[in-house]
Amino acid sequence: MHAYVTSKLDYCNTVLYGLPDHQLSKLQRIQNTAARIISRTKSSEHIQPVLYNLHWLPIKQRIIFKILLITYKALNGLAPIYIQELLNKYKPRRNLRSASHNLLTVPSTNTVYYGDSAFSVAAPKLWNSLPEHIKTSDTVETFKKALKTYLFKQTLTGF
């Protein structure tokens, strides 16, 4: 169940970034049902602790996790060139403190809905919102672990 359901939920989920919550809730219900079946939890019980015990991020955070993982790989030369070319490091024209914060330039868009959900816009926005200790992780594994912990904490505090 775990391998089948989560692989289907994670397949190309980066294209789901920016969808309204009412559309993502359908996928969230599928994940919740799978978690209930695996843990044998009653439908009357709250699902958040079950997802936490299974170490499953909610759908919205899974999408963010995937985008940020691709971004990390692109910035460290581990992603295809065409993805690396979508990201530009922030270089201020003057000597500013923000130059040392490992930021990305967020391109401007003409359309709010479609433009902001594009990888070239969403990835820099999400990346720039990360704490510095996560962005400067040495390996992919340490990045994934720190990012998942960060997203779990955000989920528990209500974003």
pLDDT tens column, 44-68: 999 989 998 999 999 999 999 999 9
Contact assessment for residue 58 and residue 39, using Cβ atoms and an 8 Å cutoff: no
pTM score above 0.85: yes
Residue 70 backbone phi and psi in degrees, to 5? -65, -40
14 residue type, one letter:
T
Among residues of the chain, what percentage have pLDDT more than 70? 90
Among residues of the chain, what percentage have pLDDT more than 90? 60
CA 141, CA 149: separation in Å to the nearest integer? 12
**What are the angstrom distances between the C-alpha of 112 and each of 63, 83, 122?**
19, 22, 11
Q: Which of residues 112 and 5 earns the better pLDDT score?
A: 5
Max Cα distance, the chain (Å): 59
Predicted pLDDT of residue 159: 47
Task: Determine the average pLDDT of the residues in 74-85.
Answer: 94
Per the structure, the complete domain to which residue 131 belongs is given by: 2-157
**Token digits of residue 48:** 């958040």
Residue 145, pLDDT above cutoff 90: yes
Q: Count structural domains, the chain.
A: 1
